[in-house]
Structure 1
Amino acid sequence: MSLVAFAIDALLPAVAEISKTIHIVDPKNNQLFITMIFLGIGFGQLISGPLSDSFGRKPIIYVGFTVFVLASFICLFSTNLEMMIVGRLLQGVGLSAPRTISIAMVRDRFSGNYMARVMSFITVIFLLIPVIAPALGKLLLDAYGWKSIFYSQLIVGVFIMLWVWKRQPETLVLEKRKKFKLALFVEGLKEFVKYKYAVIFTIFSGFITGSFMVYLSASQHIFVEQYHLEEEFPFIFACLAISIGLATFLNGKLVVRMGMFKLVSFFTVMFTVVSLIYILFFYGESNPNIYILLIFFGLQFFSIGFLFGNTRALAMEPIGHIAGVGAAINGFVSTIMAVPIATFIGSYITDTALPLFLGFFVCGMISLLLILILKLRRN
């Protein structure tokens, strides 16, 4: 799963440099470097998830990585925005395999709150990458240019694939594999929608992922263009990633005691309230002092750290018998929801960070409504 984070975050310091090289006129189009890879991940999961239910988890991961390699070379030799978008889109399609199938492999082995605990520790590793990736990207950019970042992704990817081949056993035994047919996904979809928890927490994930994706795509603009902190940007990004990692690590300790649903309910409220406080203080105002902004971001991402793993685990809990297709549908819907949300909110981020917090608040309120619906149904 860390390959996804590395492919996104290592490139952030180089966005402006790539934009100049391929002659992008409108700076808002720079956000497409991030949103397009997510779009590719979303659609790619519809292919990799069902295929892994038939042919096993590991072979499809290798196929996905091969697509990622070919897409990386398209990015390396891009001469315009359109070619770069195609490359990033295909990178996402390739990376959808390790990202989705990693979750299916966890569901193959674990269930319940213990599954959420395992997901939390995996997510800690996943979130450690944003701590080091922007700084590494900046070092490579300054020393060798932006193309070296893509080459570093390929080197890291080959290392991880060799490690998976050598150390990770296949988790889907032959007896549990489904015969491959074109109707496999349709049948899986029909089964998926029977489970209200799976459906509602998939939609929930879409709003949370969308709000976080806005930050990913707009962070370079906020910290570099609005605050003029180009040199400090990788370190700021790393510090905020640590807040998510800390929350995810604590979640692994707390989830077995308190349960996933309670934690999700509490931290969704926190996520929404923090964004509301920011709006009340700074609506119609210029950006606050950078330290105040970082405190608000830190609180938001601490909340998100408790939501990422738990919402995915809650969605996957009732559908272990179709883990591959289930993970694909979950990932596809949440990502396809997140991309337009991020694009829409991101288009308003010009002079201040306020639109980002307005987006956080709206996404948080809708997520609270979904939790309320579940509570009413349960009662």
Structure 2
Amino acid sequence: MRETEFVGLMAAIQALQALAIDVMLPALGQISRDLGVTDANERQLLVGIFLICSGLGSLFPGAIGDRFGRRPVVLASLGIYVAISLASALVTDFTTLLVLRAILGFGTAAMMVMPMAIIRDQFGGDRMARIQSLISMTFMVVPMFAPTVGQAVLLIAGWRWIFGVMALLAACVALWAWARLPETLRPEYRQTIAPRAILSNMWDALRCRAALGYFLGASFVQGALFGYINSSQQLVAEHFGAGVFFPAVFGGMALVMSATNFINARIVERFGARRVSHAAAITYIVVAAVHLVCAMLGETLWVFVPLMTISMCMMSFIGSNFASIALQPFARTAGAAASVMAFVRLLLGALLGTLIGQAYDGTARPLLAAMTVAGVVALGLVFYSERGVLFRRLNPPGQTGPEVNGPAELT
């Protein structure tokens, strides 16, 4: 495939995970009412359970992909997405829907893991960060339009049809992948399926100092983002009074976040993933702290949205670059490394996001305090990986092949 189609397909696969969250946000209130949920915060579990199980499920597809290839794992995951989405449209109680959301998260975790491994199969260095940014930019279109799509479906046909739309889109992506996705795993890189070898490859990823601080730091920042997503409907639509304009506000913020990924793709090969992401992490901390002060003094929607949008833009710089830096040392075991990193990032991020969402008290203060702390912790972890030196550039321009930074630095 040409680069444009490759970016589009990888983005579409990852975007289905975002779709499973964002398209439902306008319907959470109606779902909870129809299924007899009385606790307002309990509706957030439809998002939190999905994210937690995605984290748990991401521990397995990488090792399977390292043995049998990326293509069959991707196609199987898309099939699960279609089946569980259709089943979710038929539920009659909230507990069953939670169980199906858990199965969906666990069974489709490969849709986040495998694109990372496929990208690492073919790119390295700052070129990999550029490709990841382009993919992130493309799949951010989903959160931009998904709440609007969900709102439209809700008005026309009811919330059950939202799951039907999810199934239809997943089926289209599955046909695209079946027809066009090649196998990217090199034959000489195929790993044994023996548990001891799998655990060894995963342990190598966990004890690599150059990677550890980056994927743990990304987990804390992503946890803050999940906290916002969990509570966004209550915070923006109800507390700040956006009401039916919530999808437009949410989508507009996602649009700016998507543009940030485009900017990152344009500058990362010039300045380096480390320099860009380190600057973004520092800016993120400053903006979150200022926003917290504003929230304590009292703020309106017109103050919240610009400051939160800036924070989300910094999350874009951090997420794309941290992920590519963390995967650099693992050319031969990209699947196992991507799997264990996604496991840690999604599970820790989902747990933190659930806790942040459940701490919602009718104001933005708990969210903003958590964002500030998450930024400080993430920067401290980067200091650990970089041995106390920020803004270095380890990959000179031009070194972009998949073997860049091949061997892992294990400590």
Please give the TM-score of this superposition, normalised by the length of structure 2.
0.89
Name 1:239's counterpart in structure 2. Answer: 252
Change (3 A) 1:179 1:185: closer
SS of the residue corresponding to residue 232 of structure 1 reads helix
1:11 matched to 2:11? The reply is no
Structure 2 counterpart of 1:337: 348
Task: State the distance in 1 between where 2:23 and 2:351 align.
Answer: 23
Deviations 1:142-195 (A, max 9, x none): 000001110001100010011111122110133321122222331112221342
The structure richer in helix per residue is 1
Match of 2:103 among 64, 87, 90: 90
C-alpha separation between the residues in 1 aligned to 2:246 and 2:388? 45
Establish whether residue 317 from structure 1 lines up as the match of residue 322 from structure 2. no
Matched letter for residue 158 of structure 1: A
1:25 corresponds to which letter in structure 2? T
Conserved in 1, the CA contact under 8 Å of 2:75 and 2:177?
no
Which residue of 1 is the match for residue 158 of structure 2?
145
**Aligned partners of 2:98, 2:261: CA distance in 1, in Å?**
32
**2:209 matches 1:196:** yes
Q: Deviations over 1:264-303 (max 9, x none)?
A: 11111111111111222332x44x1211111111111111
Looking at structure 2, the residues matched to 184 and 129 of structure 1 have their Cα atoms a distance apart, in angstroms, of 37
User: CA contact under 8 A between 2:140 and 2:258: conserved in structure 1?
Assistant: yes
Q: Is 1:226 matched with 2:256?
A: no
Amino acid at match of 2:324: A
Q: Is the 8 A contact 1:198 1:319 kept in 2?
A: no
Gapped runs of 5+ residues in structure 2?
A: 1-13, 391-411
Aligned equivalents of 1:252, 1:150: Cα separation in 2: 33
Distance 1:73 1:112 in 2: 41
Unaligned runs of 5+ in 1: none
CA contact (8 A) 2:214 2:385 kept: no
Aligned to 1:262: 275
Query: In the alignment, which residue of structure 1 is the partner of 2:9?
Result: none
Offset of residue 98 of structure 1: 1.7
Match of 1:372 among 364, 383, 386: 383
Residue-pair matches, total: 377
User: Does residue 15 of structure 2 align to residue 2 of structure 1?
Assistant: yes
After superposition, residues 104-143 of structure 1 pair within 5 angstroms as: 104-143=117-156
Structure 1 match to 2:395: none
Deviations 1:28-82 (A, max 9, x none): 0111111111112111111211101111101011221222233223422223332
Distance 2:251 2:213 in 1: 32
2:373 match: 362
Change (3 A) 1:299 1:378: closer
Structure 2 equivalent of residue 174 of structure 1 = 187
Q: 1:303 aligns with which of 281, 293, 314?
A: 314
Q: Structure 1: which amino acid aligns with 2:89?
A: L
Q: Secondary structure at the match of 1:319?
A: coil
Q: Is the 8 A contact 1:246 1:305 kept in 2?
A: no
Which stretch shifts more, 138-147 or 70-79? 70-79
Match of 1:187, SS?
A: helix
Of the structure 1 ranges 181-190 and 267-276, higher mean CA displacement relative to structure 2 is found in: 181-190
CA contact 2:86–2:167 (8 Å) conserved in 1:
no
Taking structure 1 as the reference length, what is the TM-score of the superposition? 0.96
CA distance in 2, matches of 1:70, 1:268: 39
Alignment pair present for 1:328 and 2:339: yes
- For residue 55 of structure 2, the aligned residue among 42, 45, 57 is 42
Cα root mean square deviation, aligned: 1.4
Matched, 1:250 2:263: yes
Report the Cα distance in structure 1 between the residues aligned to 2:44 and 2:36, rounded to whole angstroms. Answer: 15
1:376, distance to aligned residue in structure 2 (A) = 3.2
Q: Distance in 2 between matches of 1:372 and 1:296?
A: 26
Contact 1:123 1:309 in 2 (8 A): yes
The aligned amino acid for 2:46 is: F
> Separation in 1 of the partners of 2:309 and 2:212?
29
Counterpart code for 2:284: F
Structure 1 residue ranges (4+ consecutive) displaced by more than 6 angstroms after TM superposition: none
Q: Name the SS of the counterpart of 2:330 in structure 1.
A: helix
Q: State which of 63, 71, 82 in structure 1 corresponds to 2:84.
A: 71
* Distance in structure 1 (CA, Å) of the matches to 2:295 and 2:58: 39
Conserved? CA contact 1:74–1:83, under 8 Å: no
- The CA deviation at 1:377 is 5.0
> 1:148-167 maps to which residues of 2 (within 5 A)?
148-167=161-180
Q: Is the 8 A contact 1:22 1:78 kept in 2?
A: no
Deviations 1:79-127 (A, max 9, x none): 3332111111111122211211011000000000000000000111111
Alignment-mate amino acid for residue 190 of structure 2: R
Q: What is the match of residue 358 of structure 2? A: 347
CA contact (8 A) 1:56 1:172 kept: yes
Is the 8 Å Cα contact of residues 71 and 90 (structure 1) preserved in structure 2?
yes
DSSP 3-state at the match of 1:212: helix
2:191 match: secondary structure = coil
Q: Mean Cα displacement is larger for which, 64-73 or 162-171?
A: 64-73
SS of alignment partner, residue 77 of structure 1: coil
Whether the 8 Å CA contact 2:52–2:351 is kept in 1: the answer is no
